[in-house]
Amino acid sequence: MKIRLNPDQELVNTVKAGLAARGNHCPCVREMSDDTLCMCKQFREQIADPEFEGYCHCMLYYKEK
């Protein structure tokens, strides 16, 4: 299992700017809670799922099996 950044540097910069503007909360969802702090609960659950391979919702990170 490996987590890597999206190779698209422009997208990475955009998402990171969005995170910075929201106190490290996910810029792709409207709600703000402990669950939306990056890495958000949704992606942490995807990381824990041995069957999951793919991007997080914002496409900042990619999980390889």
Interface with ligand SF4 by CB under 6 A: which residues?
Answer: 15, 26, 28, 38-40, 43, 56-58, 60-61
The minimum distance between CB 9 and ligand SF4, in angstroms, equals 15
Query: How far is 46 from 44, CA to CA, in rounded Å?
Result: 5
CB of 15 to ligand SF4, least distance (A): 5
What is the C-alpha to C-alpha distance for residues 15 and 13, in angstroms, rounded to an integer?
A: 6
- Whole-angstrom distance, CA of residue 46 vs CA of residue 55: 9
Residues 6+ positions from 28 with CB-CB distance below 8 Å: 18, 57, 58
Q: Which is nearer to ligand SF4, 44 or 65 (CB)?
A: 44
* Cβ closest to ligand SF4, residue 52 vs residue 60: 60
Q: How far is the CB of 39 from ligand SF4 (least distance, A)?
A: 4
